[in-house]
Structure 1
């Protein structure tokens, strides 16, 4: 596939990039700091806090799919997931690219928004311990999760062939090559997944037409 990868130098994005290239995919990276990319990776310099619409649209030419690992890494990036994803969606429409895979987070299915105010209090895949812990985590990461929830709203209402991937706590462990997937929920008592396997799950979703229009919970 010919992929466009947003946030290709982030903790997860760089693993998506490495796996995509080693699997034979052609990748154009959308990054703020091209100097962090491996040699010979085509790129467009994009600051997703204030994205250049023309540069984004130009990077989309001929792409089969867009994969986004956008997410705030600090207060300076607050809101970047929603802002950047809205810009990606507009660029995709202009370029005629239909397939979009985005990275979210396991608790977002219970984060209400103005667009979707009636989300459940608990995810059906969460056991008792996760039901007790999730509210604590949501309070600590309220701004980050509000950004991801707004991003999901934009994706779900985009009219594109989208897939949202929601992992739980991410680790830097090695790839196991196997994970559980649940549609529209978190895998039962799924506590963690490595970034390496998350990268593989996102690429697998991008290549699978059956995952379009679905929210996929992924975890060990």
Structure 2
């Protein structure tokens, strides 16, 4: 399987790339600077996800797209997702898996709201809200597309290896879920490349 991995040098992206290498998957790592990669990829594509032509050139000959992009306060997700969708349609690619945030899951206390909009969330700083807004806009754009999308929504994400003993739930964060390691988030993300179980779903992850 030929995988275009966006955000390949980030925390979840790096762990995903490690798993893909172990499984002998053919990965194109999309990064701004190849020297930031922790693990090697068969192909490295240097570019900016906010440049349409960079996304388009990296998308050729891919089977699936995995995005572990961060927000970095620059509307990276909402700005890049239209280019990603357009290029996927052009090349006939249907499957995309993205790593989002638990803030864009539905609130249990206010079901008409996202978690970050409700009293359920504990992170209320302007920066956290801005990041959640970027994730929300990207999710809503994906939701309105014709792609086979899955948005994985981990809660608080400390560094750590995969231990496998985690919970997941469609549209909601598992009850009393407080954290999930980078390793387990990457493992769950990697499992989705060969699964159709969560197509057109947001999936909350937590221990």
Give TM-score, length-normalised by structure 2: 0.88
CA pair 8-208 structure 1, distance change in 2 beyond 3 A:
same
Residue 28 of structure 2 corresponds to which residue in structure 1? 28
Q: 2:123 is matched with which residue?
A: 137
1:40, 1:165 → 2: CA distance?
A: 23
Which runs of 5 or more structure 1 residues have no equivalent in the other structure? 112-117, 124-130
Instruction: Report whether the alignment pairs 1:188 with 2:175.
Output: yes
Partner of 2:46: 45
Change (3 A) 1:132 1:149: closer
Q: CA RMSD in A?
A: 2.1
May I ask how many residue pairs the two structures share in their alignment? 201
Distance 1:72 1:108 in 2: 14
Q: Deviations over 1:108-135 (max 9, x none)?
A: 1359xxxxxx962475xxxxxxx7561x
Q: Does 1:120 align with 2:116?
A: no
Matches of residues 12-27 of structure 1 in structure 2 within 5 Å? Answer: 12-27=12-27
Q: Post-superposition, which runs of at least 4 consecutive aligned residues in structure 1 deviate over 4 A?
A: none
- 8 Å CA contact 1:106–1:186 kept in 2: the answer is yes
TM-score normalised per structure 1: 0.83
What aligned pairs does 1:1-220 form with structure 2 within 5 A after superposition? 1-37=1-37, 38-39=39-40, 41-48=42-49, 50-51=50-51, 53-73=52-72, 75=73, 78-110=74-106, 120-121=112-113, 134=121, 136-140=122-126, 141-220=128-207
What runs of 5+ residues in structure 2 fail to find an aligned partner?
A: none
Q: Retained in 2: the 8 A contact 1:44–1:56?
A: no
* Residue 93 (structure 1) shift: 0.9
